[in-house]
Amino acid sequence: MPHIYCTICQNLLHFFAEMIRAASKRSRFPAARNRQEFTMKHIIFFDLDGTLTDSGEGITNCVIHALQKQDWPIPDSDSLRRFIGPPLIDSFQGIAGMNAAQAAQAVTDYRARYSTVGLFENRAYDGIVDTLAALKAAGKRLFLVTSKPEDYSIRIAERFGLAPYLEEICGATLDGRINTKDAVVRLALERAGQPDPADIEMVGDRLHDVEGARKYGIDCTYVLYGFGTREEAEAHHAAHIVATVDELREHLLAL
């Protein structure tokens, strides 16, 4: 009899041990999945110039055209590159040294050439279209968020094969109502349905992308293959820094 009781006790202990292990698995594994789903980012906001396309030629040619229309001195090549990204009205004043009226006229002259010629002096970075395709296939929602006028941005996205992967193309307005990065980020948030900022990653190549996203609590990945610098990225505390398109793709797929 003692032997029988001992066997029964051992079986009961084994039974309860298995129940405890099973309960532990049920409570632990779903929680791990939920944590992973919670931390994954499903929405990517992309800048355009210097992030998806190399637009340097078209922008600088149009800046030169606008300055020549007013017989204004042409800056050196490094200064011309600084026009890429920020709002034009600010650059014509801050870089070229124009007053407000001169800068406004320069923007008009710039757009006259850009709208017909300059926007197509451009190219998608190697690997960018494949990157957008991979991200969309992975279930990410992709938005173009640029301070370039929206009409121009749509035409560029369509010409260079970006549009099929983008849920929305959000840009500035030609009348100046929306003309800063943070204003376009706000527009993108509205069109995306006001998602949780923790579910979004901004991708850009200049400080305006970092700061415009930060205003709404959005992290920014800063790309070094565009028109910015590592020093600028670090000075403005970009959340992530990547050097190449391949590195960007792997980084965003892992978010």
Give pTM, 2 decimals: 0.81
Work out the number of other CB atoms within 10 angstroms of the CB of residue 198: 12
Kindly name the residue from 47, 49, 54, 219 that is annotated as catalytic.
Answer: 47
pLDDT for residue 36? 37
Q: What is the pLDDT of residue 18?
A: 53
User: Comparing 1 with 173, which gets the higher pLDDT?
Assistant: 173
Classify residue 50 by its DSSP letter.
T
pLDDT higher than threshold 70 for residue 15: no
Burial 206-225 (b: 16+ CB within 10 A, else e): bbbbbbbbbeeebbbbbbbb
- State pLDDT tens for residues 2-14: 444 444 445 544 5
Q: Is residue 203 scored above 90 in pLDDT?
A: yes
Mean per-residue pLDDT over the chain, rounded: 88
Which residue is associated with the tokens 């042409």? 74
Domain boundaries, the chain: 42-55+123-254, 56-120
What percent of the chain clears pLDDT 90, i.e. is strictly above it? 81
pLDDT per position as a tens digit, 138-161: 999 999 999 999 999 999 999 999
At residue 39, the pLDDT reads 53
Pick the CATH number of 56-120 from 2.40.100.10, 3.40.50.300, 1.10.3720.10, 1.10.150.240: 1.10.150.240
Q: For residue 26, what pLDDT is reported?
A: 34
Assign a CATH topology to domain 42-55+123-254. Rossmann fold (3.40.50)
Helix H segments across the chain? 2-39, 56-69, 77-81, 88-94, 100-114, 128-137, 150-159, 181-192, 207-214, 230-235, 245-254
Cα–Cα distance between 230 and 206 in angstroms, integer? 10
Known catalytic membership, residue 47 = yes
pLDDT band for position 204 (50/70/90)?
Answer: very high
Segment 27-40, tens digit of pLDDT: 332 333 333 344 58
Judged by average pLDDT, the poorest of 31-45, 119-133, 135-149, 186-200 is: 31-45
Question: In the predicted model, what is the mean pLDDT of residues 62-70?
Answer: 98
The answer on pLDDT for 71 being more than 70 is yes
